[in-house]
A and B are shown apart, each in its own frame.
Chain A
Amino acid sequence: MTQKEFIFQLRLQLAGLPTAEVDDIIRDQEEFIRDACAAGRTEESVVAALGTPADLARNLKAEIKIENAEEKIFKATEEKHLSEQMKGVFGAVGAVLVLAPFNLIFVLGPFTALMGVLFGGWVTAVTLALVAIVLMIVFFGYLVFVPGGGILYIAMLFGFLALLAAGCFMLGLMYMVTQFVVKMILGYLRWNISFIKKNLE
């Protein structure tokens, strides 16, 4: 293969990466081939020693994808608000998913299940709190029209307050659980990447 063919193939194989990145890689390869030829080697042998463009492109692409995923995980870790962290986690999971086919099983499966559990928890907590509030509004509205008293009303009021407290407690609990889950997922993603890296080398 000549240098021209090698560079052409490499450019094809690198399609999809940012142009600046591709140009930089091509520039490096051209410099290398030029220097090797200047040292007295033939173009054919230099290009052959570089391996196939497909192999080189695959290596570089894999590295760039890993860097991208690592950056997303880092950004998610740095976010201050839980909602922003959660958004970051979704991005990071997406970036880690494309690193290896087996991550469909090891990342997407458990992640979907965890999100389901979290979602269920939040819905339950919000529903509890909302139901308590609605009941109390109805209760006080009813009192206005039918003024009365007695132990029953006080008992009902306490019942609603207890319901509201349970809702709020669960909201707080879900907040902490979500924080914990986010941390756990990011930790697992980091481990997942280090595993993939080891097997790449």
Chain B
Amino acid sequence: MNTQFNKGVIEMCVLALVSQRDYYGYELVETISKRIEISEGTIYPILRRLTVEKYFETYLTESSEGPPRKYYRMTDLGRQETKKLLLSWQKFSEDVNFIIKGGSST
């Protein structure tokens, strides 16, 4: 699959998931890779960038089975941007589907 396309899509999936509830890294990879084939190494650079860009905040939680886990929580800024992104994705996918199905008129 086209990697450029893939990376943007993964980023959107990550944003959509974390906007619903707090996630930790492996959980995100697991959830996304159930439906989409991803290279697992790409997730952490994305999470790091979204944190630097202040879309996410992180916090550590003690886990019962060993060292603490890092959770990602969405900020207000992240929420705003995700909303915009998902809206434009919706429009985009509707348009693409329309064209694929053979539509040509407005």
Residues of A within 8 A of B (CB): 25, 27-32, 34-36, 38-39, 46, 49-51, 55-56, 59-60, 63, 67, 198, 201
Contacts and interface: CB of A to CB of B under 8 A. Distances in A.
Contacts of B67: 30-31, 34
B102 interface: no
Interface of A is mostly: helix
- Nearest 7 interchain pairs by C-beta: A35-B26, A51-B41, A49-B40, A50-B41, A59-B45, A201-B7, A56-B41
Interface in B1-35: 3-4, 7-8, 24-27, 29-30
Contacts of B30: 39
9 contacts: A28-B25, A28-B47, A32-B40, A34-B67, A36-B26, A51-B41, A56-B45, A63-B45, A198-B4
A49 B45 CA distance: 15
B44 interface: yes
A56 B47 CA distance: 13
B79 interface: no
Q: Give chain B's interface secondary structure class.
A: helix
Contacts of A32: 25-26, 29, 40, 44
A35 B25 contact: yes
Contacts of A36: 26
Interface residues of B, number: 25
Contacts of A35: 24-27, 69
A51 B39 contact: yes
A67 B26 contact: no
Contacts of A49: 39-41
A36 B25 CA distance: 10
B65 A25 contact: no
B70 to A, nearest CB: 6
A196 to B, nearest CB: 14
Given A34-B66, A35-B25, A36-B26, A28 B7 contact: no
B26 A60 contact: no
B48 interface: yes
Contacts of A63: 45, 48-49
